[in-house]
Amino acid sequence: MATSKKVSLVTRTTLWILAVIAFVGLVFLWWGNTLAIKREVARAQEQLRQLLDTVERSASIACFLQDQQLAKEVSQGLLSNKIVKRVVIRTGTTLLAEAARLPKAAGGVEETTIEHPADFMRRQLVSPFNPDEVVGEILLSPDSIELKSQAIQAAYFIGILLMVQILAVGITVVLVVYRLITQPIKLIADSLQVLPAEQGQTLAYPHRRHERDELGGLVNYINHMIARLVSLLNEERNLRQQREIEERKFRSIFENADTGIFLVDQQGKMLSYNPACRKLMRAVGRSETDPISRVTNFFNNDEMQVGDMIKACLREDKNVQQDIKLVGTDGGLRWVNITLSRIEDVVFQGVANDVTERKLAETAAQKAAVTDALTGIFNRLGFEINLQNRLNKICEKPEFWLALMLIDLDFFKQVNDTYGHDAGDRVLIHFARLLEGSVRKSDLIGRLGGDEFVLFVDYIDQPQRVEKIAKNIITNVAEPIDIGEGQTAQIGASIGIALFRGISVSQEQLFKQADEAMYQAKKKGRNTYCVYTQTH
């Protein structure tokens, strides 16, 4: 508030008033002076007229008698007045008397001035005994310097009076303005400067007499404003407190959530993340003190994967989800589901959940769907899916063979009937292991149902190998099978084989030919195999 340019209102008001007073004073002085001079001139003329009135009679007698002596007396008498400079009395063309005050500078009287009627006061003189007869004239020349000095004296006096009056008015106005306006305003300003308005304290009137005037109004208005400001401040404070509470709530949710929440920019830089993110990282064996600086930490540092996901989120402008497999330092597998949503132009919110349990359950369920629960090998669905995959991938290579073998257990029904289902199950499990032992790990084994199994082999260089597998199976299955409680069971196997060489073939075709071959094998008697041939 205290600036170097501050100018006191009192000073300025005073200066203004003084300036106006000076101006008005000068105008009045000039006017008064002019007026006084005019009046003085008029007064002097009146005086001259009166002088002429006084001497008129004597002068007219002098003219009547052409009496130079008398005329001289008259003119001398007139000259004794200061304002008279020159007197001429003449009758017709005869000069009776002429008198002049000697000018201060030497020079004498100039005759020519008589010819200037404007400078002279002229009066015709009539005969004292006959008003109709003009006997002469008297010319009077005023002393203009004397006149002027008299006028100036009068004007000076008037001017002094005016100045005194104007000064008195001016001083009064200054005092009144200072007392009634500027001083109270200064008081208000001073108390306003130190007023603790934020505490709701109000401003006092500078004086009781201002309660009802404009300054009182100003104070009232300021107080009204203070009250409003204070109430606004309180409102604001309450709002801030409420917001802080809300923020704490959200912060607490953010901090305590089991779900990892983070913000990431377009370049994959982590802007912030909650403790759950850290927990997730810990779960996959990252060091707890490692700062999660980039979202690629969730993607096994695979920049491409992250970039793709962010791009997809930008492009489709909607949430993008992905399950990510994380490999921990201990080799353990974890699954994390990441959902990215765009919240600002280049800021994305990510939600990370550990979905390992769900993922494992899913995998288990998937596995159960394609696995024969009893033997652990593929069931019909699993086998068909895998077979189709293999067939899709096979390229036509004429030097390799592939084969599908359908295997039916002989005498299984008898084992079931004789020893019960548990024994049957043992037999089935035993056979499944036997099949696994008979083929390469890459070959497909499945149980189609009951005592019906299936086997798919490919990349066989000679067809004899297929037959050898079949022979092996038949040989091995003939061995007595331990079915518990010291008992053994004996079964056999009939095998139908569909054999192809390096061409693409459909599943239906394979099964159809294998079926046909199986039928032939059964016809030939049990414990044998048969390869499908076109010429049957």
Partner 1 sequence: MLSASLSAGADDLAVIVNSQSGVEQLTKAEVINLFLGRQKKLPSGATALTVDLGGPNAEKQQFYARLVNKELAEINSYWARLFFSGQGSPPRQVEAPEEVLDIVENNKSAIGYIERNKVDSRVKIVYILKD
Cβ 84 to partner 1, closest distance in Å? 21
DSSP-assigned beta bridge partners for residue 137: 90, 124
Asked if residue 130 binds partner 1 (CB under 8 A), the reply is: yes
Cα distances (Å, whole numbers) of residue 393 to 386, 390, 425, 508: 11, 5, 34, 17
Lay out the sheet containing 444-449: strands in order across: 444-449, 452-460, 401-410, 492-501, 529-531
Asked if residue 64 binds partner 1 (CB under 8 A), the reply is: yes
Cβ 78 to partner 1, closest distance in Å? 16
Cβ 110 to partner 1, closest distance in Å? 29
Cβ 48 to partner 1, closest distance in Å? 23
Asked if residue 70 binds partner 1 (CB under 8 A), the reply is: yes
Residue type, 299: F
Cα distances (Å, whole numbers) of residue 363 to 268, 299, 326, 339, 388: 30, 21, 16, 21, 20
Contact 70, 62 (CB under 8 A): yes
Asked if residue 238 binds partner 1 (CB under 8 A), the reply is: no
Closest to partner 1 by CB, 73 vs 308, is 73
Closest to partner 1 by CB, 58 vs 274, is 58
**Applying CB under 8 A, which of residues 69, 172, 388, 533 lies at the interface with partner 1?**
69
Asked if residue 61 binds partner 1 (CB under 8 A), the reply is: yes
Asked if residue 58 binds partner 1 (CB under 8 A), the reply is: yes
DSSP-assigned beta bridge partners for residue 338: 322, 352
d(CA 272, CA 260): 11
Closest to partner 1 by CB, 61 vs 151, is 61
Asked if residue 128 binds partner 1 (CB under 8 A), the reply is: yes
d(CA 393, CA 403): 15
d(CA 334, CA 356): 5
DSSP-assigned beta bridge partners for residue 404: 456, 498
Closest to partner 1 by CB, 67 vs 425, is 67
Cβ 66 to partner 1, closest distance in Å? 8
- State the number of binding residues for partner 1 (CB under 8 A): 12
* Token pair in block for residue 253: 């949710």
Stretch that binds partner 1, among 69-77, 199-207, 303-311, 382-390 (CB under 8 A): 69-77
Closest to partner 1 by CB, 98 vs 425, is 98
Cβ 71 to partner 1, closest distance in Å? 9
Contact 337, 355 (CB under 8 A): yes
Tell me which residues touch partner 1 (CB under 8 A). Answer: 58, 61, 64-67, 69-70, 73, 128-130
